[in-house]
Structure 1
Amino acid sequence: MRRLKRNPAGLLGAALVAVMALLALIGPPLWGDAAAAIHPGQINQGAWLPHPFGTDALGRDLLARTLVATRLTLGLAFLATVTGTLGGTLLGALPALLPRRAGRLVVAVVDILVAFPALLLAMFTAVVTGLGARGAVLGIGVALAPTFARLTHTLTASIAGADYLAAARMLGAPRRRILTRHILPNIAEPLILNTAQAMGAALLGLSAMSFLGMGVQAPSYDWGRLLNEAFGHVYVTPSVVVAPALAVALAGLGFMLLGDTFAKAAASSGDPVGTPVAPLVPPAQDAPVRDAVLEVRDLTVAFPGGVTPVRKLSLTVRPGEIVGLVGESGSGKSMTAAAIGQIVPYPGLAGSARTRLCGVDLDGLNDAERRKLLGSSLAMVFQDPTSSLNPALRVGGQLTEVATLHDGATPAQARARAVERLRRVHIKQPERVVGQHPHELSGGMRQRAVIAMGLMGTPRLIIADEPTTALDVTVQREVLRVLRDVVDDTHAGALFISHDIAVVSELCDRVAVMYAGRIVEELPADALHQARHPYTKALVGSLPDMDTDRSLPLATIPGRQPSPADVGAGCPFADRCASAVSRCSTRPPLTVRDDGHAVACWEA
């Protein structure tokens, strides 16, 4: 309703539909007598004061008849919509119930029906079932059914691989139960939303059928029948078609606008309500770090509704250094990477006191300059290489795009560079791999291909967002070795994001531990055993080693991390910390100790 109030077209559609519904209720009792009154002396009159839209062949007032016909017109359109919705949904769901061959046959029939002109299909059905209101309703219902069948089949296919469906099949649930309990409830919303537009289409279709003489028959009448009766006099008294034509147009427009508004609202229903507002962060006053590839000060990411997944985070990465950003899921690691790469998803906005890449302040650049710097100096490696690589394009084509767009390389030069970059990340036979599609590569090869894509330019900073999470241990070690070799060879800086503190301790030079959107400790990777923050100690303690007593249960961290919208004013780890004291009700600052450790804890 909030979206409807802010949408003028939606408001107009809702108002038109409401008026039509009201007329359907009050029309026959209020204007029924006037619509039936015959005036032999006023036959086929044009618009004049007693009859503002003229009269018909029996002298009956056309405005009154149009108002009375609203009930029958909307009622028949509703029946046709229900017929098309239920019939189309059942037809589209049949492939999920029938054996594979029969299901394919149903899909082929649906495809043929969708390609067939809807009005011709409705007319054919009406002729077969008999002229009149019943035939017209069945005809329009049959014409609407293929659209709903196609939509139902598409939606069903989109959830066909869901785990809950696989579990239901494994338990031996009947296909009918799977359909009614697991499939239809999960696809009902778009089907219901589509009925508003289908109602408008049904109304127009029924009016067209009646206008052609195949719908409502005398003495009954709907708007299409009124148009049919008045059409013979349109050249003499044009006003006689205005009332029913205007009613058809306004009602159809109302349902179409309302359906379009509902569809748009449903498409954006996952967005938080509210206007995105960039977080206000005062600019940094101290001098920037000169030798840093990346310097971020007080980075904050905010979403409407008070959701702040990153809170005043400061981070520095130097050339040839790999900095590990570690923390539990939901701590804000990936959002930090997105903010650095300027790809925070809408409606989130990022702000910082300072963000410098390769010594250049990103906030001081215009959009074109910022894109050019990020495109040439920053490489991002995401967790799922399958989503990073376009399945429709060959690997070589995707790698060469970077060189041709940012460096102006010729296709031959770009291909040669792609082969060289694939060889650098230890892919065997790179000349063959550039001609393959992503699905022809293993998971480890795809991940290395993504790293090679990031190296197609001359990146000074590599951000790897959990690049080994979906890989087995052997391939994981290979990818980590590739990343280490790349940093050593190119002297680029790297930000390695992971929730696995064992991997971070092995690969990285420094470790920044993140919790509830903030850095709570920063220390050298080889000093993790000397961690001071209780959260870092708990992460290290939860990692078993060869000396771990196997007779004891694995160490865990009690409780859970607060959501980005629920972080209070005190230390966010206090509820899970065994060492919490009274002053933990206020948030401790990140303080650099004498030994170089930075810790945000009162007791550290």
Structure 2
Amino acid sequence: MPRQRTKWLAAARSPVGACSAALLVLIAALAVAAPLIWGDAAGATDTSAMEQGPSGEHPLGTDSLGRDIFLRVLVATRLSLGLALAATLIGLVVGVLLGTAPSILPRRAGRLVTAAVNIAVAFPALLLALFLAVIFGVGLTGAMLAIGIAGAPSFARLTQTLAASVAGRDFVSAAKVAGVGRVRMLVRHILPNIGEPLVVNATIGAGNALLAFAGLSFLGIGIQAPDYDWGRLLGEGLDRIYTNPASALAPGAAVVIAGLAFNLFGEAAAAVVGSRTAAVRGGAAPPPATPHPATTPAAGASAGTETDADASADRDAPVLAVENLRVAFPHPAGWVTPVRGVSFTVHAGEAVGVVGESGSGKSLTALAVSRLIESPGVVTADRLDFLGTPLLSTPERDLRELLGTSLSMVFQDPMTSFNPTRRIGRQLAEVSEQHQGLSRRAAFDRAVDRLRAVRLPAAERRARQYPQEYSGGMLQRAMIGMGLMGDPRLVVADEPTTALDVTVQRDVLRLLSRVRESRTSALLLISHDLTVVAQTCDRILVMYAGRVVEDLPTAGLKDARHPYTRALLDTVPDMDVDRDRPLAVIPGRPPEPDQVLEGCAFASRCGFASDRCATETPGLAGAGRAHRVACWHPADGPADGVRTHSGATAPDEPFGERT
């Protein structure tokens, strides 16, 4: 925050900032003091001094009733400025409500609001104000409502754009997983992050509102006698512009100076907000599902004997069951399906890794099982159950508590995983306040305890800090701590170590392993790093072009049979690699989601492809115990590649609930 204050001070010291600040202070002082000091004198009539020119007694002359024009211009500052600010506030409030309505209302109603805003933006604001002034009636109230509502569409469009940019951030997705409602999401997570740009545009809008008010009063449909503002004074002085030009020039100059002050201040503030923003940063039916080869649920790699039959039955019941999962998005040429018929199960205490090149559908699969695919994306599946609850057919309101307390999401970029406008402790406490009914203090205490549980040093002090004061590794620990605010049965980690150095990667992976072992939680780890997955997970799903091409236990990774899996293994260097030889690569590129054709998607990059591979799509078929492969020509024999071991390094101490 000190850096932000420094930027504001630097902006205030700049020529534009200093000039605008000085003008605004002067105008504000006049608005407060002028009516108190000169109010009576400005309204006093003098029939002996009517329509006089400038003199020592009357610097700008007098009007038709002998009133001092200079004093009237000064006194009119309060009404002119107050009405402009009131109209701007009306426009800002109405615009924010319209701009955020699509996020709260049902989809059809939201589209109607968006269409209405788009139509209103097409009309010039002043023309719209004139039209509304006739509807609301002549006078102060009608002009204020007309100008305020006429400015609302521009604020609504800006709010929609800013909200859409924030809605894609990881901390919003984390709040959705935590079960935060739409209104609470809007008030606590979206609006605070778009407030500064809105305020900056409001300062510029105030200058425009000031000009619009002057225009309406000048035309005689704004302020009515005996009240007066700069526009009304300008209209009165225009009749005598040839005999006393100062009577018209003075109120006109006041409008220009005040409008310039607002616009210059907005420009200076925009430079500060723009640098901060740079640093922080409806449709047809979905495509029909294509036939998918029958598959059998994959068994976990690790098995053990259970003395309690009921406990064994509970463990066999999958925490997450996915069958024929498809994710589709609209495209000018039709629907694109980046995830095409993915099926797998995850049992209690099991760690399942999903690997593949960028664009293989790993992250979309994780987002789909977490209910984070937004419209216009469409998710379909023959089965998508979490703890026995169907995620696609259950209403969102009924799923909120289940996902908020039993599913934890760890995102790829720790720097975008938290709301930068709220303290870490309060963000963690929101889960307990929302779902466990704890008081604000009790929820914060629990958040501090969860931060201690993930071994964050000085947890109580850290809980009162903002995300910007954390390192990447600390933020990942805090994100895992947020998942521990409930009772996570499934932890979905979407490339949680990508942005971290090797040492911090190890600590985060150890922490995830401790969470899984101490709470019998399942882990779904998404990664492009085969070594990370091999050292952490019991079972590995290899994805390519939106499909699972191999499902095998980690202990049997050297027995991988799909050519793509073997190619991934060959690209992993080890200590025995020949330094004189170039690193191994997989030739070619994965197909784009809209360019996947029939047959095996890997055929163009595979040295074993045949004519059958180009025309028929292979389904997952058994290739050994707990091993399935989708290939017409699976390889035999052990593969070279990464050294694997099941499970991460054991923790130094037991991990779990602290009381």
TM-score, normalization: structure 2? 0.54
> What does 1:42-441 align with in structure 2 at a 5 Å threshold?
114=207, 117-119=210-212, 274-275=283-284, 277=286, 280=289, 290-305=316-331, 306-441=335-470
Q: Does 1:593 align with 2:615?
A: no
Which of 570, 574, 582 is the matching residue for 1:545?
574
Return the offset for 1:12: 10
* Cα pair 1:465 1:496 within 8 Å, conserved: yes
Bigger Cα displacement from structure 2, 534-543 vs 385-394: 385-394
Distance 1:537 1:522 in 2: 13
> What does 1:501-520 align with in structure 2 at a 5 Å threshold?
501-520=530-549
Q: What are the superposed Cα offsets for residues 462-491 of structure 1, whole Å, 9 maximum, x if unpaired?
A: 101111111111111111100001100000
Which of 566, 573, 591 is the matching residue for 2:595?
566
- Tell me the residue number matched to 2:496: 467
* Cα pair 1:298 1:354 within 8 Å, conserved: yes
* Cα pair 1:281 1:298 within 8 Å, conserved: no
Per the alignment, do residues 284 and 151 of structure 1 end up closer, same or farther by CA in structure 2, a change over 3 Å counting? farther
Per the alignment, do residues 415 and 543 of structure 1 end up closer, same or farther by CA in structure 2, a change over 3 Å counting? same
Return the offset for 1:414: 2.3
Q: What are the superposed Cα offsets for residues 561-604 of structure 1, whole Å, 9 maximum, x if unpaired?
A: 11111111111111111221111112111112133321111110
Return the offset for 1:452: 0.5
Return the offset for 1:119: 4.4
- Give the aligned residue type for 2:481: A
Q: Secondary structure at the match of 2:420?
A: coil
Return the offset for 1:459: 1.1
Distance 1:439 1:445 in 2: 11
Return the offset for 1:346: 1.9
What is the number of residues matched between the two proteins?
401
* Cα pair 1:119 1:143 within 8 Å, conserved: no
* Cα pair 2:448 2:459 within 8 Å, conserved: yes
Q: What are the superposed Cα offsets for residues 541-572 of structure 1, whole Å, 9 maximum, x if unpaired?
A: 11110011111111111221111111111111
Distance 2:438 2:257 in 1: 57
Q: Share of identical aligned residues, percent?
A: 44
Kindly report the root-mean-square deviation, in angstroms, between the aligned alpha carbons of the 2 structures. 4.1
Q: What are the superposed Cα offsets for residues 120-164 of structure 1, whole Å, 9 maximum, x if unpaired?
A: 7888899999989xx99999999998898788778777775899x
Q: Does 1:557 align with 2:566?
A: no
Distance 1:503 1:571 in 2: 27
Which of 444, 447, 456 is the matching residue for 2:485?
456
Return the offset for 1:385: 2.5
Return the offset for 1:442: 1.5
Q: Secondary structure at the match of 1:117?
A: helix
* Cα pair 1:356 1:362 within 8 Å, conserved: yes
Return the offset for 1:382: 0.8
Q: Secondary structure at the match of 1:304?
A: strand
Distance 2:393 2:206 in 1: 58
Return the offset for 1:371: 1.9
* Cα pair 2:204 2:266 within 8 Å, conserved: no
Per the alignment, do residues 457 and 131 of structure 1 end up closer, same or farther by CA in structure 2, a change over 3 Å counting? farther
In structure 2, the gaps of 5 or more residues are 1-110, 128-199, 219-229, 243-248, 299-315, 635-659
- Tell me the residue number matched to 1:50: none
TM-score, normalization: structure 1? 0.58
- Give the aligned residue type for 1:570: G
In structure 1, the gaps of 5 or more residues are 21-106, 166-272
Q: Secondary structure at the match of 1:293?
A: strand
- Tell me the residue number matched to 1:487: 516
Per the alignment, do residues 588 and 439 of structure 1 end up closer, same or farther by CA in structure 2, a change over 3 Å counting? same
Distance 1:577 1:488 in 2: 39
* Cα pair 2:292 2:341 within 8 Å, conserved: no
- Give the aligned residue type for 1:562: P
Q: What are the superposed Cα offsets for residues 340-374 of structure 1, whole Å, 9 maximum, x if unpaired?
A: 11110221010110111112333453332222221
Distance 2:588 2:581 in 1: 20
